[in-house]
């Protein structure tokens, strides 16, 4: 009899262990926000899920919407290319931690007949175009910087984001840094009152509009430009160099801005003075509450983020993102230790 119950006990115990394992494997996390890092996040969520059994559902709806969903606690984490301002931090129902995950480049993409890759643009040209002051592709100011390019006399059609966007945050902060007129008339933020142009929803919407509209120019994350076979410009940086957006030039910008992260993890890296740096670069963040209401989900989210800032970084370059500098990884580790 004892032998029989011992076997039964072993079976019961095995079933309990199996059930516990299955429950752990079925932990599902939900997140929403930035479209900027969507290509790398999709890869991460798939790879992490296959390795651990965890399920992560992410809605690529824009940084502004992601922050709002985190605020009302309909998601376990938010994602934004725009760090929360002090005012936004104070309005959240709990203390929010910023975890920078990768750095990326915001590129100027265009569709101009006969003009291939590498059109050169200066800060003055970019701000002039988006202010609506430069309206034709054969404008003398554009031709002066691109003397060997056959620029047609067609109107410039500006495309920008229509939703609250971290990509817009990076781009408009760049414009505010290089143009006093832009700073005073338009400013910087996830949403601004654009002087000219047509809005598209998400990086996907902007990329799609540019691809279908002759004479257009807009801004998207580098991976979207490459994936959609869009041409993109070289941009003159603070050191006076015309820089092609790439993993390497974004890495230089990220590394140059890394020391400032120690003072404030929300520090921007636009218009870096470093030689070789692509000037329209930025970190993107996952946002989570320091005090988690669901212990199981909180533990899984921290486990995933530790994986992302270590193993996940090996996947960044293939998808045209810059990996985190070492000191950013260390700051992230310290922040994750504080999650309760």
Question: What integer pLDDT is reported at residue 7 of this predicted model?
Answer: 54
Q: What's the confidence (pLDDT) of residue 89?
A: 95
Say if residues 206 and 227 touch (Cβ distance below 8 Å): no
- CB-based contact 49:61 (threshold 8 Å): no
Mean pLDDT of 195-213: 92
Q: Identify the pLDDT of residue 6.
A: 53
DSSP 201: S
Who has greater pLDDT, 20 or 206? 206
- pLDDT score recorded for residue 15: 44
Distance CA 278, CA 235 (A): 7
Residue showing tokens 């119950």: 5
> Given pLDDT bands bounded at 50, 70 and 90, which one contains residue 337?
very high
Helix extents (H) in 213-316: 222-227, 247-261, 295-309
* Three-class SS state of 277: coil
How far apart CA 23 and CA 161 sit, in angstroms, is 41
The pLDDT-based confidence of 17 (bands split at 50, 70, 90) is very low
Q: Is the pLDDT of residue 98 over 80?
A: yes
Across the chain, mean pLDDT equals: 91
Asked whether the predicted pLDDT for residue 20 surpasses 50, the reply is no
pLDDT per position as a tens digit, 242-277: 999 999 999 999 998 888 888 999 999 999 999 999
Task: With a cut of 80, say whether residue 3 has pLDDT above it.
Answer: no
pLDDT value at position 249?
A: 96
Q: Report the 3 state secondary structure along 27-83.
A: CEEEEEECCCCHHHHHHHHHHHHHHHCCEEEEEECCHHHHHHHHHCCCCCEEEECCC
Structural element, H or E, at residue 243? strand 242-243
| Banded model confidence at residue 202, pLDDT cuts 50, 70, 90 | confident
- The pLDDT assigned to 224 comes to 86
The more confidently predicted of residues 2 and 39 is: 39
Average pLDDT over residues 213-241: 94
- Which percentage of the chain shows pLDDT scores above 90? 79
pLDDT tens digits along 310-328: 999 999 999 999 999 998 9
Give the predicted TM-score (pTM) of the model: 0.85
pLDDT of residue 21: 45
All domains in the chain, ordered by first residue: 27-104+283-337 (3.40.190.10), 105-261 (3.40.190.10)
Specify the range with the lowest mean pLDDT, choosing from 65-74, 91-100, 199-208.
199-208
- CA angle (301, 303, 304) in 5-degree steps: 65
Of 18-27, 41-50, 243-252, the one with minimum mean pLDDT is 18-27
Mean pLDDT lowest among 24-28, 299-303, 329-333? 24-28
| Confidence at residue 24, expressed as pLDDT on a 0 to 100 scale | 45
C-beta separation of 217 from 156 below 8 A? yes
DSSP 162: -
């Amino acid at each position: 009899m004892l032998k029989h119950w011992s076997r039964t006990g072993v079976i019961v115990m095995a079933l309990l262990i199996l059930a516990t394992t299955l429950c752990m494997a079925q932990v599902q996390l939900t997140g929403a926000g930035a479209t900027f890092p969507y290509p790398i996040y999709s890869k991460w969520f798939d790879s992490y899920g296959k390795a651990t059994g965890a399920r992560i559902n992410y809605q690529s709806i824009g940084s502004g919407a992601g922050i709002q969903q985190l605020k009302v606690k309909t998601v376990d984490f938010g994602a934004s290319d725009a760090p929360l301002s002090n005012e936004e931090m104070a309005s959240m129902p709990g203390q929010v931690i910023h975890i920078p995950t990768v750095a990326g480049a915001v590129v100027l993409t265009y569709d101009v007949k006969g003009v291939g890759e590498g059109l050169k643009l200066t800060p003055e040209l970019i701000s002039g175009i988006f202010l609506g002051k430069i309206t034709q592709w054969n404008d003398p100011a554009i031709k002066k910087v691109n003397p060997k390019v056959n620029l047609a006399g067609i109107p410039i059609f500006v495309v920008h984001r229509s939703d609250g966007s971290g990509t817009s945050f990076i781009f408009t902060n760049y414009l505010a840094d290089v143009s006093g007129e832009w700073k005073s008339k338009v400013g910087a933020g996830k949403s601004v009152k654009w002087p000219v142009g047509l809005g598209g929803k998400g990086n996907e919407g902007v990329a799609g509009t540019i691809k279908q509209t002759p004479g257009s120019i807009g801004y998207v994350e580098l991976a979207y430009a490459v994936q959609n076979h869009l041409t993109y410009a070289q941009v003159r940086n603070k050191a006076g160099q015309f820089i092609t957006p790439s993993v390497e030039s974004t890495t230089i910008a990220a590394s140059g801005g890394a020391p400032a992260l120690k003072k404030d993890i929300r520090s921007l890296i636009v218009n870096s003075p470093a030689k070789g740096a692509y000037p329209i670069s930025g970190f993107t963040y996952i946002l989570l509450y320091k005090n988690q209401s669901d212990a199981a989900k909180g533990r899984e989210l921290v486990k995933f983020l530790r994986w992302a800032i270590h193993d996940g970084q090996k996947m960044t370059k293939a998808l045209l993102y810059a990996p985190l500098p070492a000191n950013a990884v260390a700051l992230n580790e310290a922040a994750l230790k504080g999650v309760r």
